[in-house]
């Protein structure tokens, strides 16, 4: 019996085809002029751009490892700062006095450098905490603040407007929002495997673009 070849699935092309199908579901209005390329012909390029905006699957774990490493450095910096402070039982303001020395072996310049080091450590710890908070900043309702989801949503908003000639709108029925733009985002997120709320992303994007 001849051996059967394994079926090879190209996820990239399959995902792009799904995104293209979602875009073709929009009420596209092509220009009347025959010398202008129909907007519908731009769909493969739009889908490809969206596909390229998707971060690799391992980026999430890489960012987590980077944050974990930053946390370790922050803890080490905090311990070093505490160690320096423990050498000065008096008020911290006295650190700026060049006559005060950590030990009899530390020169005056060393005291000043220690003061600068302590200030730098405090600044680093503060920046590390802000960076960590910004990385994990997520709306209580959903993941609308995820940078990747928001960036794709903003791009789709512009292309939606170009393809249809209209700005995206939303309708609210029984407390639930809906609309072609939100549906488009839903299908694109599903195709790309993005774990974010299409509803919250659409709302955030439309809010941002309102003042444009």
Q: Sketch the domain layout of the chain as residue ranges.
A: 58-135, 141-210
The structure tokens 């995902």 sit at 15
DSSP letter at 103 equals S
Instruction: Rank 6-20, 49-63, 98-112, 183-197 by mean pLDDT and report only the highest.
Output: 183-197
Contact 5, 181 (CB under 8 A): no
| 122 — pLDDT class (breaks 50, 70, 90) | confident
Q: Is the pLDDT of residue 18 over 80?
A: yes
179 φψ region: left (φ > 0), alpha (ψ -120 to 50), beta (else): left
E strands of the chain, at which residues? 171-173, 176-178
Q: pTM for this one?
A: 0.54
| 10 — pLDDT class (breaks 50, 70, 90) | very low
| 6 — pLDDT class (breaks 50, 70, 90) | very low
| 156 — pLDDT class (breaks 50, 70, 90) | very high
Name the phi and psi angles at 171, rounded to 5: -120, 150
What's residue 90's pLDDT?
A: 55
Distance CA 122, CA 154 (A): 37
What's residue 123's pLDDT?
A: 86
């Amino acid at each position: 019996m001849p051996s059967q070849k394994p079926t090879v699935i190209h996820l990239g092309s399959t995902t792009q085809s799904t995104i293209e199908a979602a875009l073709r579901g929009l009420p596209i209005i092509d220009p009347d002029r025959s010398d202008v390329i129909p907007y519908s012909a731009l769909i493969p390029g739009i889908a490809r751009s969206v596909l390229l905006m998707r971060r690799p699957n391992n980026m999430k774990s890489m960012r987590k490892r980077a944050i974990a490493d930053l946390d370790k450095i922050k803890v080490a910096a905090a311990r070093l700062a505490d160690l320096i402070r423990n050498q000065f039982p008096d008020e911290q303001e006295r650190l700026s006095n060049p006559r005060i020395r950590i030990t009899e072996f530390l020169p005056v310049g060393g005291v000043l450098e220690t003061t600068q080091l302590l200030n730098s450590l405090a600044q680093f710890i503060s920046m590390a905490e802000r960076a960590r908070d910004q990385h994990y900043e997520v709306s209580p309702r959903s993941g609308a603040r995820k940078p990747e989801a928001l960036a794709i949503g903003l791009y789709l908003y512009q292309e939606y407007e170009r393809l249809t000639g209209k700005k995206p709108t939303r309708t609210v029925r029984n407390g639930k929002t809906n609309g072609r733009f939100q549906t488009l985002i839903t299908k694109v997120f599903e195709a790309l495997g993005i774990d974010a709320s299409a509803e919250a992303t659409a709302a955030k994007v439309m809010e941002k673009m309102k003042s444009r």
